[in-house]
Amino acid sequence: MSTRASGRTVGGLRTLSLQAPAVGLLLMWMLIPLVMTLWFSFQRYNLLMPSVSGFAGVDNYYYLLTDPSLWTAMGNTLLLVGWVLVATVVGGTLLAVLLQQEFFGRGVARLFVIAPFFIMPTVSALVWKNMMMHPVNGIFAWIASLFGLPAIDWFASLPLTSVIIIVTWQWLPFAVLILLTAIQSLDDDQVEAARMDGAGPLAIFFYITLPHLKRAISVVVMIEMIFLLTIFAEIFVTTSGGPGLATTNLAYLIYIRALLDFDVGGASAGGVIAIILANIVAFFLVRTVAKNLEN
């Protein structure tokens, strides 16, 4: 028994020694930026005023939390995340059900629906800004002219809505991909039995298809929300956070503090707040997804 125990101990030590370099490198890669962000968040560090430095305590956090722009940015972040999630989940579910049906050219249709997800955010934002939503040369302006309607200057009159449309177009294919994969595992015998019992398409959708997609929808919501909290490129390319703060989210506000105001301390405090909010959201989302997977 002692020989077996010592053998297991030696094997465990060998495994640990092999894993230690990779785990140590991963911890350094994660912890060093976090520790530096925490350190700078308690410092007076403004690149425009290098003579003013030293320990600031919680002044950076107090200034940020009492700044109305923070709450405006957080409100814009919630609106952006909420509307994109609703649009992608609802639209992704309907498209997944549609693309599951048999029709001519289904493979090509699936390819075109999923393709936008592989376009870089900067490129998609430029395409929408210059080719779709341009008030003079855009496709939307051309369609409006066909009906004798005035063209809409999207980024001036509906800036946040414009960003939501762009981000939704980019993330809708991801939802379709996950939900289409999930719907393909639906038991056809169950659907046929429901049809034989007289269930119509709506009844099959609400009582069979939708409950089957519950887990996949939870995964889509969790993954999208984590990434949508850090949306930056679409805002930077199209509106630069404006007009005013109309499209400034939390990530873009941190960019303004760090690279436009050169306030490293204030930007670091904003980064810490963003990390706390992201972890709170991730905690509840992971618990929700875990419950759905258990059920």
Question: Domain residue spans in the chain?
Answer: 42-294
Better-predicted residue by pLDDT, 80 or 57: 80
pLDDT band, very low/low/confident/very high, at 294 (cuts 50, 70, 90): low
Give the 3-state secondary structure of the chain. Answer: CHHHHHHHHHHHHHHHHHHHHHHHHHHHHHHHHHHHHHHHHCECCECCCCCCCCECCCHHHHHHHCCHHHHHHHHHHHHHHHHHHHHHHHHHHHHHHHHHCCCCCHHHHHHHHHHHHHCCHHHHHHHHHHHHCCCCCCHHHHHHHHCCCCCCCHHHHCHHHHHHHHHHHHHHHHHHHHHHHHHCCCCHHHHHHHHHCCCCHHHHHHHHHHHHCHHHHHHHHHHHHHHHCCCCHHHHHHCCCCCCCCCCCHHHHHHHHHHHCCEHHHHHHHHHHHHHHHHHHHHHHHHHHHHHHHC
- The answer, yes or no, to whether residue 291 has pLDDT greater than 80, is no
Better-predicted residue by pLDDT, 188 or 152: 152
For residue range 82-99, what is the model confidence (pLDDT) as tens digits? 999 999 999 999 999 999
pLDDT band, very low/low/confident/very high, at 1 (cuts 50, 70, 90): very low
Q: What is the pTM of this model?
A: 0.87
pLDDT band, very low/low/confident/very high, at 205 (cuts 50, 70, 90): confident
Looking at domain 42-294, its CATH superfamily turns out to be MetI-like (1.10.3720.10)
Mean pLDDT confidence for 32-40: 89
For residue range 230-278, what is the model confidence (pLDDT) as tens digits? 899 999 999 999 888 999 999 999 999 998 889 999 999 999 999 888 8
For residue range 210-222, what is the model confidence (pLDDT) as tens digits? 888 888 898 899 8
